[in-house]
Amino acid sequence: MKSHFPAALAALLACAIAPAFAQEPDGLKLPRGFHAQVVAESLPNLRHLAVRDNNTIYASTRAAVRGATANPGILALHLDANHKVDKTDHFSEVSGGTGIRIQGNTLYGSTVTDVYRIALKPGESVPSATPEVVVSGMPGAAFNNRMVVLDGKGNLFVSVGGTGNICTAPAGRGAKPKGLHPCPGVTDRGGVWKFSASKLNQKFPADGVQVATGLRDSDAMDFRAGDGLYLYMHDRSATHETWPDLVSEQDEENLSEEFHRIAGKDVVNMGWPYTYWDGAKKIRLMAPEYGGNGKVSPPAGIYADPIVTFPTSHSAPLGLVFYNGRQFPASYRGGAFVARHGGNGPERPEGRSGFDVMFIPFTGNGKPGTPVTFADGFAGPTPASKIVAKATYRPVGVAVGPDGSLYVSESNKGRIWRIYYDGKP
C-alpha cells in the first residue's frame, strides 16, 4: 500500500516542525517553541515508559536478559510539582520483555515469556496488588522484545520476534548460507498475536489470534485510535558482508526498517526471512539465501508493502507512540513519534542513522506523510557522535503524558526528558 501525502501539507509541516537550534538541556535540538527538561537520570537498564498521571511514571527494565544479578523489575517514578523525579521505587519481578502499558486502572508489563497485569489503586504509586498472568508460554530464546499494546476495545496485542538475523541451515567452511523453507523462525513466533486484555492465564499461541507474520523483530508498536495497529520492523543486517557480490554497501544502506499497518481480517505478512524491502528502489526483493540477487522480486500478493520507510536504514526504531494530546500544535495530533536507538557500524564523518526522535505526520483521513526529525542531539554535538561506541545518549522509549507532554527515555545513562510546547523561542 502506497500513500500520497499532499505536497502543500507536507511543506507546511516542514516549516512548522523544522528544527530551531536553541539551547536545550544536554544539547538537544527541538522544533521552534518546544523545550526539554531532565526528569530523571541514572536509572540502570531503563527501557520503555508508561505515564499514569502528572505524578507517576512507570518504566520497564531490561536487566533480566542481560545477565544482571539483581532484577530491578518495574520502576515507579514519583514526580514533584516541577515534573522531576523525587522518589524511585522498584517493584515486582516483571522485566526483560520491555513491554509496558497502562489502561484504566491496570498496568500491563511483559517478561520474555509472559504478560502480566497489575491493579493500580488510587493513591498508590507502588502497587500493592500481586501481578497476575494474562499470557504465558512465549518463547524464551532468540529475539526477546515482547511489546504489549491495548486498543481500548478489550484486546491485547503482543509482538514476538523471530529466531535471528536470517533463517539458514548450517553451512560448511566457505559455503554461503542457504535459507530454510519453511523457516522455523516464523512458526509460533515471528509475528503479532491478539489476546483478550481481561482474561487471565491465556496460553501462547493457542489462546491468541495471529494478526501478523514475517516479523524479524520489533520493539516499536502502538495502536492509532480509530484506525489500527502499527509497528516498525527491524531490518536484517550483515547482508553486504555475507553476499558482497550480490548486495553492495549502498544496497545495505537501502535495506529499510518497515512501518506496517496491521488491521482487518487477513494476517499481514511482512516478508521475513524470505524477502526485504529496498527503500531506494521502493520494491520488495528476495533475500540472497533464498535465491535473490538484488533484482528479483517475490510473486505479487504475498507480502505487504511498508507504508513508510526511513531515508536510511539500521537506525533501530525502539519506541513508537501516537500523539493523542492537546498541548502540541494541531499538526502533531494523530501522528507518530518514533525513538531511534541508533545503528552500529564503522565510524564515518556523517555518523550512523538514528540517535534521535522522528515524527511521522498523518492526514485527517489516516494517510502517513514523510518522516521528519523532531528531536536530535542525543548522541553528541557533531554528526560523527552518532555511533554506538561514542553516543552520549541513545533514545529508546516515548510516551505521552496526560498534559500532552512527550516523555523520552534513553538507555546509556538512564535519563528521561519531558518535552513540552509553549510556543516561545
Q: pLDDT (tens digit, 9 = 90+) per residue, 32-86?
A: 999 999 999 999 899 999 999 989 999 999 865 444 546 679 999 999 999 999 9
Return the number of other C-beta atoms located less than 10 Å from residue 168's C-beta: 19
pLDDT grade for 347, boundaries at 50, 70 and 90: confident
Q: Is the peptide bond before 177 cis (omega within 30 degrees of 0)?
A: no
Phi, psi (rounded to 5 degrees) for 25: -55, 140
Q: Over range 336-349, report the average pLDDT.
A: 91
- Domain assignment of residue 228, given as a range: 7-421
pLDDT grade for 219, boundaries at 50, 70 and 90: very high
pLDDT at 348: 87
Q: What is the pLDDT of residues 143-165, one digit of tens each?
A: 999 999 999 999 999 999 999 99
- Helix H or strand E encompassing 294: none
Asked if residue 18 has pLDDT above 70, the reply is no
Would residue 232 count as lying in a domain? yes
Mean pLDDT of the chain: 91
pLDDT grade for 16, boundaries at 50, 70 and 90: very low
Question: In three state form, how does the secondary structure of 12-61 look?
Answer: HHHHHCCEECCCCHHHCEEECCEEEEEEECCCCCEEEEEECCCCEEEEEE
pLDDT at 70: 61
What residues pair up with 317 in beta bridges, in sequence order? Answer: 340
Would residue 265 count as lying in a domain? yes
Return the number of other C-beta atoms located less than 10 Å from residue 306's C-beta: 21
Q: Over range 330-346, report the average pLDDT.
A: 94
pLDDT at 116: 98
Task: Pull the grid cell for residue 7.
Answer: 505536497
Residue with more model confidence, 14 or 44: 44
Residue with more model confidence, 9 or 182: 182
Would residue 1 count as lying in a domain? no
pTM: 0.93
Would residue 113 count as lying in a domain? yes
pLDDT at 365: 84
Asked if residue 101 has pLDDT above 80, the reply is yes
Would residue 92 count as lying in a domain? yes
Report the largest interatomic distance among the alpha carbons of the chain, rounded to a whole angstrom: 63
- Helix H or strand E encompassing 194: strand 191-196
Q: Over range 370-389, report the average pLDDT.
A: 96
Q: Over range 299-308, report the average pLDDT.
A: 96
Would residue 350 count as lying in a domain? yes
Task: Please tell me the least confidently modeled range out of 21-30, 320-329, 334-343, 405-414.
Answer: 21-30
In 3-state terms, what secondary structure has residue 216?
coil
Would residue 207 count as lying in a domain? yes
Contact residues for 350 (Cβ-Cβ < 8 A; gap 6+): 383, 384
Cα(345)–Cα(312) distance, integer angstroms: 13
Residue with more model confidence, 425 or 204: 204
Q: At 38, which CATH number?
A: 2.120.10.30
Number of domains in the chain: 1
Asked if residue 1 has pLDDT above 50, the reply is no
Asked if residue 12 has pLDDT above 70, the reply is no
Task: Please tell me the least confidently modeled range out of 95-99, 114-118, 304-308.
Answer: 95-99
Asked if residue 319 has pLDDT above 80, the reply is yes
Q: How far is CA 156 from CA 4, 135, 146, 153, 211, in A?
A: 31, 10, 12, 9, 12
Asked if residue 10 has pLDDT above 70, the reply is no
Among residues of the chain, what percentage have pLDDT more than 90? Answer: 83
Residue 174 CA to chain centroid, in angstroms? 36
Sheet with 395-400, side-by-side order of all strands: 34-40, 416-421, 406-410, 395-400
Q: Given CA atoms 158, 66, 101, 203 in this order, what sign does their dihedral have?
A: positive
pLDDT at 290: 97
Asked if residue 20 has pLDDT above 90, the reply is no
pLDDT at 311: 80
Would residue 2 count as lying in a domain? no
Cα(128)–Cα(145) distance, integer angstroms: 27
Cα(287)–Cα(198) distance, integer angstroms: 40
